[in-house]
Each structure stands twice: as C-alpha cells, then as structure tokens.
Amino acid sequence: MAASLLFSFVLNAETIDGVKGSLKSLQGLWFALAFISIGLETRLADLLKADNRRPLYAFLIAQAFNIFVTLVIAYVLFN
C-alpha cells in the first residue's frame, strides 16, 4: 500500500520509468514465492489420515476454486 502511494503521488514519471522493469521482475519472484510457501504449508498426509474426510474435501474444493479464479483473471488480464 505504501509503495503504491509512493509511486502514485511522490515520485516523478522519470524515476518510475527507470525502476519499472526491475520492480516487475521482483513482483513475479515474490508472487511465485508466495504460492510456493502456501504449497509447502499444506500437509496432505494429515488430511488423508483424518477419520472425517470433510477437511480434505473442503481443501480440494477451495484449491479448485482458486485455480479456476486465477485462470479466469489471467485470461482477462493477458488477452
């Protein structure tokens, strides 16, 4: 939020153009690391060992929903 306000109201256009490329690559890196971290935090073994399968089903439905929404947003943004 602070970076958005800084780039929107404080910095001039020449400065923004000078750092835009490097910041874009960092954005992609941090985005990928966030998704990797989510995946590393998931313990499917615990979900499979549970007597009740509802947490497993909830996890799978939530992940399917996330994948679908992400694909739709990517399609809209990049086409």
Let me know whether 36 and 60 are in one domain. Answer: no
pLDDT of residue 28: 83
Q: Is the distance from CB of 25 to CB of 33 less than 8 angstroms?
A: no
Let me know whether 37 and 4 are in one domain. Answer: yes
Give residue 67's domain range.
43-79
Let me know whether 47 and 74 are in one domain. Answer: yes
Widest Cα–Cα separation across the chain: 60
**Spatial separation of the C-alpha atoms in residues 65 and 14, rounded to whole Å:** 40
Q: Is the distance from CB of 17 to CB of 25 less than 8 angstroms?
A: no
For the segment 48-73, what is each residue's pLDDT rounded down to a tens digit? 887 888 888 888 898 899 889 989 99
Let me know whether 78 and 50 are in one domain. Answer: yes
pLDDT of residue 8: 85
Let me know whether 57 and 77 are in one domain. Answer: yes
Number of domains in the chain: 2
Let me know whether 34 and 60 are in one domain. Answer: no
Q: Is the distance from CB of 47 to CB of 55 less than 8 angstroms?
A: yes
pLDDT of residue 72: 92
Residue showing tokens 């929903």: 65
Strand (E) or helix (H) holding 39: helix 13-41
Let me know whether 36 and 53 are in one domain. Answer: no
